[in-house]
Structure 1
């Protein structure tokens, strides 16, 4: 080793500024140790006498190599002390390596102290000295010293006594203390210790709970630091302290709880607070104040001078002036201002603030609160609005309030109550003084109601009373009282008084309207039913005959349509008077509605008497009636039902009489019929048909049959008629003559007609595409379809959809369809003529033929009804009649078709008369579509 006394050995050495740092480091070593100073590269700078005698030659080289890892460690962690034990055959040397750093924290070099335990064991720093030195430096309560290499922990007495244990109560190992730590806190403690020992954190600090001698958990703050490390960077010695922070933790929990309660209270009260330090311009807001202002509490509150945007201009000016006075004169303020949130919402707040003064009277800080009273002001405004509204409602609804003090009999009224009773508001009243103004019955009722409340403690009573005002007006009042008890005794009665005069009078009028027909003055259906049921009960009990007549006027609709509803009303009034004259005073006459009337004959001697009354009514109703636009005449159809086994009550009698009335209409009108079970069955059959017919299309129960029309000239198939058929889901076949009228009455003929048209055109196209020869396809059309303004366009759409030429379509209509000439009919026929659609008159001769109609409309065919054709060769004059029809058709420019041809003889007669086409069983019966195709193929 070079001369240790040389100040500049092997190099120029550190500069003068570094010398003080080296000297300071050397003074921290025991003076009797061998001391060495190295530069940043680990080269020797200087050493003391002990170093010269102990370290030299090969030992120096070995130490330099052994301490190289320690120097690299200190380069990263210059605050550490590196211990190294170097063993040679002669010595066992303990080395302590430290770094020397400059003002900028960079490593300037290293110092090494070396001593041999064999020669001078007293030179080593004692463990107690090192422990107490660290404890004094950190000024903590309990001291612990952990020798990581031997896993031994020294703990001062305070570590035990702070937990109530005796000194050395448990072993000096790391795990002994670990077992005392709360299981939930152990992971956190280990994480903190590991972070320090691996160099992630400069110090080790963590708080956790430890079980004390009484088994309770106590909070401890544990802090420490590794003070020596081996050359491999492992901690050798860690020293630290335990501090009892249990009381602090409890105070902290209490403070948190109180802070939470305070914040919650402020939130509930919408109360935010603030403080401002004028000297440092530091402003603080509570969380609730952030909410009131509408700003996030993650940002700093705006400075005082930048808060103009938080208020309306007028509010800010007042608040600014008050704040200046507070800051300069310490004058507190209390203002109501309007804040503006960033989203434009307006909040009404009460702002209060005052100054905190220093000892010399200067303003030290300002504190204040903002109380959001927006909802309160809105509630107050709503309350005022509701009170005003209630006053207006009370006046509009004529509702007054009252208070009756039980002990004194004093009576207090609201102003509206005074006005209701017609008394000047404010006049002193007693309950007894008001009773004479009620009618005797009402006064007694009111007294009894209040006496029951007081005697039986009934909570509430209500009564409708009649009161006579000072100007002799009679008014009706609804008084409702509620009893209030105090200490179990009646104290007062409070309640409402409502003027129900109009309601009472309206009730009387409603009673009249509810039971009598307003037009005729007869009992309406409700009163008639009530009285009829009473009469039926008496008749059954006394075994007396009773009859019910159901009347329906004939031709009443004609009067309404031609002369107007006013004339119809006058006619009904006249009929009602005539009906009263036709019956006795003991009988009951009522109006069911429209032009239907009911007559209940009580105490008749025999059932036949009902027929006598019916004839009398028919004769009276049939007499002419003088109306504004002239004389009119109507009739009536009457159904009669008798009380008996088949009709034991009013409902059954009404059904029976209604059925009999329809029988009278079927019998020719202006007559009467007694109830007949067979006719009822026919009516029921019709109802059933109507119900089933509405579902027939959806259930695919309808289908078409087809019958050809043959040309007389060449025997070719001139046309094929599509005929509607219905087979119900039960397999029952329904005849067209039965269900077609029902379909027309209930309106189902319209969707069924559209289906027939489309299906017929679709089938005709299939036959045509199959190469079968025929002329046109014919479809029957109901008069109801012709009245539909959309029917013409629907026909054209069906032809286009099914790709069937319109000039190969024939629409067969009845004569009655032409009787109702209208713009709709003429427009539809014009559309058909434009598109080449053929119109044919079906069943000619069975209706009311009108040559004018035949000439006016664009018809092409006449079909002679089968009732004429089938009797041509058997009935006298029928041959001449058919010949006249054929001649008439030709004279009008129409081709004539004869239907119902069943014999060859009839066919020849028709040829002789010049008939153009024929149809009937002689050629084929109506066939299904596939059968028709086979028949057509056979004609080729």
Structure 2
């Protein structure tokens, strides 16, 4: 800090505006204080005589550091006053620093006033000066002044009286007022105060509830501002006001409540309102109007000129014309229009609007309502439809009415009711006179029903009754009566009578159809089940044997496909008749559905009797039959289950017979089999396998093993075959011969096949990148995969995804896969040929190969099945047979691979026959991927 008595070296260079600003700032300080004026860099420009006596030496050095911190703070908050307390052994000073700003808000310099505590206290600036200046601006409010350094709060009398307290009713501390604030509001008040004191907000303002002298909560608006800060930016003095806003808050709550009630009323009535200020183009919608239109109330309502999409074209045209007339001539309108919600829903609304005029007659604003009457119109339309329907029903004259007076028994009928009963209209009637014409059971039901209605005040009752007309026709009537009570006593019963004779007869026919097969006339599964349950219950009581035969026709689908469904229906009818002839009258024959039948043999003497009936049925069904389309012949497979310990109820008996029927099919068809527990276990095993197989991929239970194929010429690894393996999470191994047929039957072979292909290509690429030498990778393909039109694309995509060249991929097919030549198969093989994919026939010799197929399809390899190779040096003629296969393969231009080579002797025999490649345990067993890599590396 320069000498306090120094002057600017170039007065002419001083800014005139700056001088005026400095003078204005100096006038704010008491003239008996020490005063300094600093430039924007903090250098002393001028000081008074008091400054000479107080500032110098070590005091000057200490003040320079403190004022530097203050000026840094004023750079961000130029409107603050920075108060610094300087204490030393020989003096105690208060320094007040202010910024002087120019018209553009930039800092021109600073002023400093210094007060020494050793001098007269009247030289200190009175704290009341700022306090009362602030109070004058808020004369109706309570004033508070918080000295944060001493934690003392001065409060004006209004702070107490507005709450009903006497002046100085509690201590002048910050916590004393805090104790009055509602606990729920204190956190919000502290957050607002903290935000201001830390500089996040320019002012402190918050409203909260305070407990008044009567113990009630009263709303207060608390506002304030820090006016003095220390040199490190900590507030030292905060001044503010308390404003009583309790009445305003009550009015606000009442308005909110009324607005809520109004909104609810509008919602109940489906009534939305709007207003528009044409001059400012301000449009307002109520929440219910947003709902009616189908828009969210979080967005602004569309302008009038942009509302065309909210209405049908015809509705918008009428509404637009009415709105123009309203705006120009203040002509109110009331229209019914159709609105279109954004989701396409149509709503019918009544639109009303009128203008609010200014004093000079100009249209000042428009207000209106939209009343959604969609449901009302629908109800009215429905009511009209119902009335028309009732009129048509009455005109058709199919329902009659009646009234019966309780006290007199007098009975009145409508003309149609007379006609329904076959009695001349107008004939006098009493209730008792009509009863003899009902059947006895119906007369009793009618009397009992009316008696209960009258005695127990049953309001309504309906019943179906049988009436015999004078011409002895039996008709069925549905009679519905309602009780009318007057003065607490039954007065009359009124009701309707409907002729339901046709309906009742149709019900009987439906009952017949519900229990008998319409094609064969045999009991259907429901009636068969009902009677079978009765028979089983009787068998348990009498301990007499009972047998169930489950029949499934063989070759029935062939008849349907070749001779048509009409021929199939005739065949089923003929077979139904033959089945009846094969059993006793006491036995039960039923059709389960399709080409399946059930035969229940009651009270058989021994199980062998069921076999006798089964042979009789097989002979009868197998006999040729003449149909309109020609002769037809089918067979049947029969499963037999005997009621006993293993099949004690109908469900168990059906399962057992069904299982035995499948055993008969496995045994060659057109035969019968008794239920066998071991076969059932095999069926269950297959079901379990299928269920587990569907989760195998997801559970990561599948893995691959690999086995190489060796070239006979140079012993190089010509190919590596990927073999699928399955180990469950429980550690149980499943054999391919067991689970692969199941996978093909249930369709799981498709996703599994895609996984095998991708995994094999990925493993092959890893071996190749590791520098291991081998030819191709081979993957087995199911016939089911070849029928998929997208299979070829899946193969190409897998190679591209795993970055494996297609000309190093071999797909091994079974002979049966080639038996079904199709357009899909030809297209698939064309794709494979175009991409250089090798096709190989696997297990050759175990199927029924067509040499024409072998020649027609783009095959490259032929693999001789291991069953031939393993017996080359032991079985007679096997050596000649394998030689013939090798020669056949070469004649077809195919490379021949031998599977199952396990001895050196067999390998030499194959070499002599000219076999191209060999695979088997002689070289290695199937290995995991890592083990295969080790084996390949050892081959050099």
The match for 1:739 is 739
Deviation for aligned residue 1:742: 0.7
Aligned-pair RMSD on alpha carbons? 4.1
CA distance in 1, matches of 2:717, 2:399: 89
SS at match of 1:921: coil
**2: distance between equivalents of 1:394 and 1:540?**
58
Distance change >3 Å, CA 342–CA 911, structure 1 → 2: closer
| Corresponding residue for residue 817 of structure 1 | 817
Quick check: 1:657–1:675 contact (8 Å CA) kept in 2?
yes
Displacement of 1:439 = 4.2
Structure 1 position 665, deviation (Å): 1.4
Contact 2:462 2:481 in 1 (8 A): yes
Written as runs of structure 1 = structure 2, the 5 A alignment for 1:847-926 is: 847-926=847-926
Which residue of 2 is the match for residue 597 of structure 1?
Answer: 597
Secondary structure at 1:888 match in 2: helix
Report the secondary structure of 1:804's partner residue. Answer: coil
Residue 633 (1) aligns with residue 633 (2)? yes
Equivalent position SS for 2:549: strand
* CA distance 1:394–1:545, change in 2 (3 Å): farther
Could you say if the C-alpha distance between residues 399 and 930 of structure 1 is closer, same or farther in structure 2, counting changes exceeding 3 Å? Answer: farther
- What CA deviation, in whole Å up to 9, does each residue of 1:615-659 have, x standing for no partner? 111111111232343322221111111111111111111111111
What is the aligned partner in structure 2 of residue 607 from structure 1?
607
CA contact (8 A) 1:901 1:907 kept: yes
The residue correspondences of 1:303-318 to structure 2 (distance < 5 A) are: none
Deviation of 1:596 after TM superposition, in Å, equals 1.4
Structure 1 equivalent of residue 7 of structure 2: none
CA shift, 1:393, in A, is 6.0
> Residue 543 and residue 383 in structure 1: after superposition, are their counterparts in 2 closer, same or farther (change >3 A)?
closer
Partner Cα separation in structure 2 for residue 628 and residue 840 of structure 1: 48
Mapped contact 1:312–1:338 kept (Cα < 8 A)? no
- Aligned 8 A contact 2:337 2:350 in 1: no
- Deviation of 1:459 (Å): 3.6
Matches within 5 A, 1:330-479: 339-340=334-335, 386-392=386-392, 398-413=398-413, 417=417, 420-421=420-421, 430-432=430-432, 434-435=434-435, 437-468=437-468, 474-479=474-479
Over 3 Å counting, the alpha-carbon distance change for 1:906 and 1:384 in structure 2 is closer
Give the SS at the match of 2:407: coil
Corresponding residue of 2:548? 548
1:874 is paired with a residue whose SS is coil
Give the structure 2 partner of residue 724 of structure 1: 724
Counterpart Cα distance in 2 of 1:732 and 1:396: 76
Give the structure 1 partner of residue 705 of structure 2.
705
Query: Quick one: structure 1 residues 414 and 930, their matched pair in 2 at CA, closer, same or farther if it must change by over 3 Å?
Result: farther
Distance 1:471 1:374, change over 3 A: farther
User: What displacement does 1:425 show?
Assistant: 7.1
Distance in 1 between residues matched to 2:384 and 2:427, nearest whole Å: 27
Aligned equivalents of 1:703 and 1:311: distance in 2?
74
State which drifts further: 733-742 or 843-852: 843-852
Equivalence map 1:491-506=2 (5 Å): 491-506=491-506
Larger Rg: 1
> Matched residue of 1:707: which SS?
strand
Cα displacement string for residues 570-596 of structure 1 (whole angstroms, at most 9, x for unaligned residues): 222222111111111111111112221
**Range that drifts further, 519-528 or 425-434:** 425-434
Aligned to 1:106: none
Give, in whole Å, the separation in 1 of the partners of 2:513 and 2:389: 35
Q: Is the 8 A contact 1:466 1:477 kept in 2?
A: yes
Q: Match of 1:681?
A: 681
CA contact (8 A) 2:869 2:906 kept: yes
Taking structure 1 as the reference length, the TM-score comes to 0.60
Deviations 1:381-406 (A, max 9, x none): 87555433443467789554432222
Q: Distance between the aligned counterparts of 1:312 and 1:767, measured in 2?
A: 82
Per-residue CA distance 1:794-828 (angstroms, 9 max, x = gap): 11111111111111111111111111121111211
Tell me, what secondary structure is at the counterpart of 1:927? coil
Paired residue for 1:928? 928
Q: Judging changes above 3 Å, is the alpha-carbon distance between structure 1 residues 397 and 529 closer, same or farther for their aligned structure 2 residues?
A: farther
Asked if the contact 1:312–1:340 (Cα under 8 Å) also holds between the matched residues in 2, the reply is no
Q: Secondary structure at the match of 2:544?
A: coil
Shift of residue 925, structure 1, vs aligned partner: 0.5
CA contact (8 A) 1:515 1:527 kept: yes
* Partner-residue secondary structure (3-state), 2:526: helix
Provide the residue aligned with 1:783 in structure 2: 783
Secondary structure at 1:831 match in 2 = helix
- How far apart are the structure 1 equivalents of 2:631 and 2:800? 54
Give SS of 1:789's match: coil
Give how far 1:484 is off: 2.6
Matched residue, 1:802: 802
Residue 756 (structure 1) aligned with residue 738 (structure 2):
no
CA distance in 2, matches of 1:399, 1:373: 41
For residues 879-904 of structure 1, the C-alpha deviation after alignment (integer angstroms, 9 at most, x for no partner) is 11111111111111111111000001
SS of equivalent to 2:403: strand
Q: Distance in 2 between matches of 1:492 and 1:338?
A: 52
1:523 paired with 2:523, answer yes
What is the distance in 2 between the residues matched to 1:830 and 1:732?
A: 41
Is 2:337–2:351's contact at 8 Å kept on the other side of the alignment?
A: no
Matches of 1:434 and 1:529, distance apart in 2: 44
Equivalent position of 2:792 in the other structure: 792
Q: How does 1:211-230 map to 2 (within 5 A)?
A: none
Q: Cα offset for 1:452?
A: 3.9
Could you tell me how far apart the structure 2 residues matched to 1:395 and 1:666 are? 68
Q: How many Å separate the matches in 1 of 2:768 and 2:419?
A: 92
Contact 2:336–2:351 under 8 Å retained in 1? no
5 Å matches for 1:291-306?
A: none
- How do 1:11-26 and structure 2 match up within 5 A? none
* Farther off after superposition, 609-618 or 820-829: 820-829
- Residue 467 of structure 1 and its aligned partner are, at CA, apart by 3.3
Sort the Cα spacing of 1:446 and 1:762 in 2 relative to 1 into closer, same or farther, 3 A: same
After the TM superposition, which of the residue ranges 399-408 and 508-517 deviates more from structure 2? 399-408
Q: Which string of whole-angstrom CA distances, capped at 9 and with x for unpartnered residues, describes residues 133-179 of structure 1?
A: xxxxxxxxxxxxxxxxxxxxxxxxxxxxxxxxxxxxxxxxxx9xx99
SS in 2 for 1:604: coil
- Aligned pair 1:838/2:838, yes or no? yes
Which ranges of structure 2 fall in alignment gaps of 5 or more residues? 1-156, 166-261, 270-288, 290-317, 326-331, 340-347, 353-369
Instruction: State the Cα deviation string for residues 824-871 of structure 1 (Å, max 9, x = none).
Output: 112111221122111111111111122122122221111111000000
For structure 1, the residue ranges without an aligned partner over 5 or more in a row are 1-174, 185-262, 271-290, 292-308, 317-336, 350-371
Q: Distance in 2 between matches of 1:709 and 1:395?
A: 91
Q: Which moved more, 1:730-739 or 1:843-852?
A: 843-852
The 8 Å contact of residues 437 and 468 in structure 1, kept in 2 or not, is answered as: yes
Partner of 1:299: none
| Contact 1:818-1:853 within 8 A present in 2 as well | yes
Alignment partner of 1:490: what SS?
strand
Q: What CA distance in whole angstroms lies between the structure 1 residues aligned with 2:769 and 2:707?
A: 19
Q: Distance in 1 between matches of 2:620 and 2:521?
A: 19
Change in CA separation of 1:629 and 1:384 when aligned onto 2, cut-off 3 Å = closer
Pairwise CA distance, 1:450: 2.1
C-alpha contact 1:310 1:341 (8 A) present in aligned 2: no
- CA distances 1:686-712 after superposition (whole Å, capped 9, x unpaired): 111111000000000000001111111
Query: SS of the residue aligned with 1:893?
Result: coil
1:447 and 1:705 map into 2 onto residues whose CA distance is 86
Aligned length: 613
Give yes or no for contact 2:459–2:483 (8 Å, CA) kept in 1: yes
Do 1:872 and 1:906's aligned partners in 2 also have CA atoms closer than 8 Å?
yes
Partner residue, 1:672: 672
Aligned to 2:766: 766
Report 1:25-44 matches (<5 A): none
- Residue 505 of structure 1 and its aligned partner are, at CA, apart by 2.1
Question: 2:712 & 2:633 partners in 1: Cα distance?
Answer: 52
The 1-side partners of 2:320 and 2:898 are apart by 100
Q: Determine helix, strand or coil for the equivalent of 2:626.
A: strand
Corresponding residue of 2:581 = 581
Instruction: Report if the CA contact (8 A) 2:338-2:349 is conserved.
Output: no
Q: Structure 2-normalised TM-score?
A: 0.60
